[in-house]
Amino acid sequence: MPIYKAPVEDYLFVLHDLLRVQDLKDLAGFSELTNDLTRPVLEGIAQFCEDKWQPLNQSGDEEGCRLENGAVRTPKGFAEAYKQYCEAGWNKLASPERFGGAGLPGLIGMAAGEIAVGSNAALALYSGLTNAALSTLEVTGAPWMLEHIIPKMVDGVWTGTMCLTEPHCGTDLRLMKTKAIEQPDGSYKITGTKIFISGGDHDLSDNIVHLVLAKLPNAEGKFVDDLSSVNFFLVSKQNIDPNSGRLSHRNGVSVGAVEKKMGIRGNATCVLNFEDAVAHRLGSQSESKTSSAAGMSGMFLMMNRARLGTGISALGVSEAAYQNSAQYAQERIAGKPAKGSNQPHAIISYPDVRRLLIKQRAFNEGARAFGSWVSLLIEKQRNASEPDQRRRAGDLAQLLTPIIKAYFSDRAFDGTNAAVQIYGGHGYIRDNGVEQFVRDSRIYQIYEGANGVQAHDLVARKLGADGSRAYEAFASEITVAIESCEEVGLDDLSDALRKAAKDLEAAVEWVRANSGSTYDIAAASYDVLNIFGVVSIGLMWARAARVAHDLLKANRADREFLERKLVLARYWMERELPMTSTFLERAALGSRGLMDLAAAAL
């Protein structure tokens, strides 16, 4: 049976030693974030997920979801485990107090999210998407929605979905066919088919709130392939009385199918058919009601949150995979590691197995630190006292979001595959539970804009516009980390990071110099994203190394933990950062050679 132990100690290190959240007095709610609060919260959700969710992970995958008489049945135990999770309040740690949440910073929500996913990715997704949906609704919903809908979602008794994709279009929203027709009472009726709707139907909650993209007709009453006609709507599975908030009759939303998927099989991925479904238009309350931007900005808000969530989810599965492979490597006996010994050893004695394990762990811990830092930046963007601080934090968070989504999911997938590799043939057998991590983690490279789209977002949008301001902020963070390592003689780390940062600088300069050449920028995007990714984790390792160095010097008791941080930091600097030179060399080729063939010749 697979194991899972939530990385509570590592989160406490990240929160209190690395980010020192307890010292951020100017951020609302942060001064209370001492170990006295964070430890019991994280230990609480850890214990719950280890005890109640993780044991359902493999059985949920085996059983999957099924459609019975038009309703989706989730795997045995899911509904009960979901309810217990919400009743204990683990779903709403970071939800606003005014809606019934615990009001903790998003940073804690991220930690909770990783732990929930690490224990059971399919089950966690129902709650994760509900939180993304309610955050969006908070900004785009009408007052009656805030009053009657959001509190239900915060409590988890209603769940949420996002309905974007249609059979023939995903990324390109202009091609969307789902139509919305305004009704005399100001509501809308929506008709169309949406696919890949995670948690589109299930038996976990009383109601499901769908956030739906659909097109409005133009002035001539026609539906055109144009982004400006795409708007954002709320469609409830059961209709809701806006005055009382009570559920009434069933809305015109039905489940066309539940997809059979590669992984995340315990989460119901639905085809949803909307037939004259009652819908309410959403939009930023500060924007004109007729502005289509209201719809798109709502969607992007949700997407941004979901992108971070996707990266952190990938980390969660990667961590679970790592733990199992480390345990297996410690227990599996094979061969003698060195000449002269005739005693069989565990396979963890083999350098190539070590390489795989350290690679996994150095990514996981570096990513955890990086994701936490970006979560903190988002808090600062919202709540820092000075406008400059808010702007700087926002710049950085925007820049780094596609990196978390794409780089984390790519590396997490590699990590789950490394776990299978360590198991050898046993990894390929479903009963052993480790191949499930590969199948589950594979989705994160696709969710919320495939990773190629993330890379394009990075180079074309995030490094364009105000991008140089964002990049300069990032570069200055790297410089601080380099100097911080140098101060205490960690020169091997700082030298490696400086070298990689130069490659990053060169890549960014190349992007700027070639910004007029659409194809070149697009062709280089993936390599540029990889440079950002490996340097971002390197930045966190430089910071973590300095902290660990200082704490070791101060003789703190957790020496093994701190020494491991230094070993993992060195691993990353010595064996991962050097990749930047090849990435840069390749990026600088632009589209050379890639577009030479006729499409039909491939």
The candidate with the shortest Cα–Cα distance to 280, out of 220, 209, 224, 350, is: 209
Sequence-separated (6 or more) residues with CB below 8 Å from residue 38: 11, 12, 15, 16, 21, 108
In terms of residues, how long is the chain? 602
**By C-beta, is 194 or 202 nearer to a copy of itself?**
194
Q: Pick from 421, 461, 468, 512 the residue near a copy of itself by CB under 8 A.
A: 421
How far is Cα of residue 364 from the mean position of the Cα atoms in its chain? 13
Amino acid at 448: E
The region, left, alpha or beta by phi > 0 then psi within -120 to 50, assigned to residue 442 is alpha
- Which of 143/593 has CB closer to a copy of itself? 593
Tell me the closest approach of the beta carbon of residue 170 to a copy of itself, in angstroms: 6
| DSSP-assigned states of every residue in 151-191 | HHHHHTSEEEEEE--BTTBSS-GGG---EEEE-TTS-EEEE
Beta bridge partners of 212: 163, 233
Shorter beta-carbon distance to a copy of itself: residue 134 or 566: 566
Q: Does 557 bind a copy of itself (CB under 8 A)?
A: no
Instruction: Name the segment binding a copy of itself (CB under 8 A); options: 73-81, 125-133, 148-156, 594-602.
Output: 594-602
Residue type at position 367: A
Which CB, 554 or 600, lies closer to a copy of itself? Answer: 600
210 DSSP β-pair partners: 161, 235
> Binding of a copy of itself at residue 7 (CB under 8 A)?
no
Beta-bridge partners for 272: 194, 255
Window 253 to 272, contacts with a copy of itself (CB under 8 A): 259-263
Least Cβ distance, residue 97 to a copy of itself (angstroms):
36
Residue 435 annotated in active site: no
Q: Is 462 in the site for a copy of itself (CB under 8 A)?
A: no
Stretch of residues binding a copy of itself (CB under 8 A), selected from 83-91, 337-345, 379-387, 537-545 = 337-345
Nearer to a copy of itself, 397 or 422 (CB): 422
Q: Is 373 in the site for a copy of itself (CB under 8 A)?
A: no
Our CB check for a copy of itself shows the closer of 171 and 290 to be 171
Contact (CB, 8 A) for 269 and 198? yes
| 145 contacts a copy of itself (rule: CB under 8 A) | no
Tokens of 375: 């979560």
> Does residue 383 contact residue 27 with C-beta atoms inside 8 Å?
yes
Tokens of residue 167, six digits: 């059979």
**CB neighbours of residue 156 within 10 Å:** 23
Binding segment (CB under 8 A) for a copy of itself, from list 32-40, 285-293, 345-353, 464-472: 345-353
Residues touching a copy of itself, count (CB under 8 A): 97
Residue 535 CB, shortest distance to a copy of itself, in Å, is 15
Q: Rounded to an integer, what distance in angstroms lies between the CA atom of residue 331 and that of residue 426?
A: 13
Nearest approach in angstroms of CB 328 to a copy of itself is 11
Amino acid letter for position 443: I
Measured between alpha carbons, how far is 464 from 522 in angstroms, rounded to an integer? 13
Q: Which of 31, 171, 218, 288 lies at the binding interface for a copy of itself (CB under 8 A)? A: 171
**Cα-based torsion angle of the residue sequence 68, 72, 76, 77 in order, rounded to the nearest 10 degrees:** -150
Q: Is 602 a residue that touches a copy of itself (CB under 8 A)?
A: yes
Contacts of 471 (CB under 8 A, 6+ apart): 399, 463, 508
Note whether 585 binds a copy of itself by CB under 8 A.
Answer: yes
CB of 255 to a copy of itself, least distance (A): 16
Contact flag: residue 559 with a copy of itself (CB under 8 A): no
- Among residue numbers 272 through 301, which ones bind a copy of itself (CB under 8 A)? none
Q: Can you tell me which of 361, 368, 411, 498 binds a copy of itself, judged by CB under 8 A?
A: 361
598 lies in the site for a copy of itself, by CB under 8 A: yes
Kindly name the residue from 448, 483, 486, 487 that is annotated as catalytic: 448
Which residues within the stretch 439-458 sit at the binding site for a copy of itself (CB under 8 A)?
439, 442-443, 445-447, 450-452, 455-456
What's the N-to-C CA distance of the chain in angstroms? 44
Which 3 state secondary structure label does DSSP give 361? helix
Binder among 20, 66, 174, 289 for a copy of itself (CB under 8 A)? 174
- Residues 474-503 within binding reach of a copy of itself (CB under 8 A): none
Would you count residue 222 as binding a copy of itself (CB under 8 A)? no
Q: Which residues are catalytic?
A: 448
